[in-house]
Amino acid sequence: MSYGADGRVIGPTQEVIDERKRLDEEARVKLARERALTQQARDAERLAAERAEQALVNKKMQEDARAAWLANGGTEVEFVQHWPSLRVQLLQQKVVAAQEEERLDFARRLYDYGGKM
């Protein structure tokens, strides 16, 4: 605090103090909004990247299945007709393979720990 020559406290008035508080609060709110928007943008970019990656995986799966279909005597028209059910079957096989890998991994860890899990 500062004191004037007459001994009175020199400082901001209550109006000035209240205005500073209001401006500080506005700045905090603005910063919080900007952070939220930045997080939303990052989330949107991550989701778009995940979708693009999944689209590439699906395209590769379809191309591989088409090549195998044609190599084994199937026609393009037949492949197009059967692709929806083939896709489901391929996805089911991937799920089963992943589950089997998890079981094997668990068994390996169990064996590594001497059965003490």
Rounded to whole angstroms, the maximal C-alpha distance in the chain is 105
Terminal CA-CA length for the chain = 66
pLDDT at 3: 64
Distance CA(51)–CA(96), nearest Å, equals 23
Distance CA(11)–CA(17), nearest Å, equals 10
Residues of the chain with pLDDT under 70: 1-4, 9, 115-117
Structure letter (DSSP) for residue 9: E
User: Which of 103, 12, 71, 45 shows the shortest CA–CA distance to 111?
Assistant: 103
pLDDT at 4: 65
Distance CA(23)–CA(28), nearest Å, equals 9
Reported pTM: 0.54
The answer to whether 62 touches 87, Cβ cutoff 8 Å, is yes
User: Which of 64, 88, 69, 94 shows the shortest CA–CA distance to 80?
Assistant: 69
* Count of residues in the chain: 117
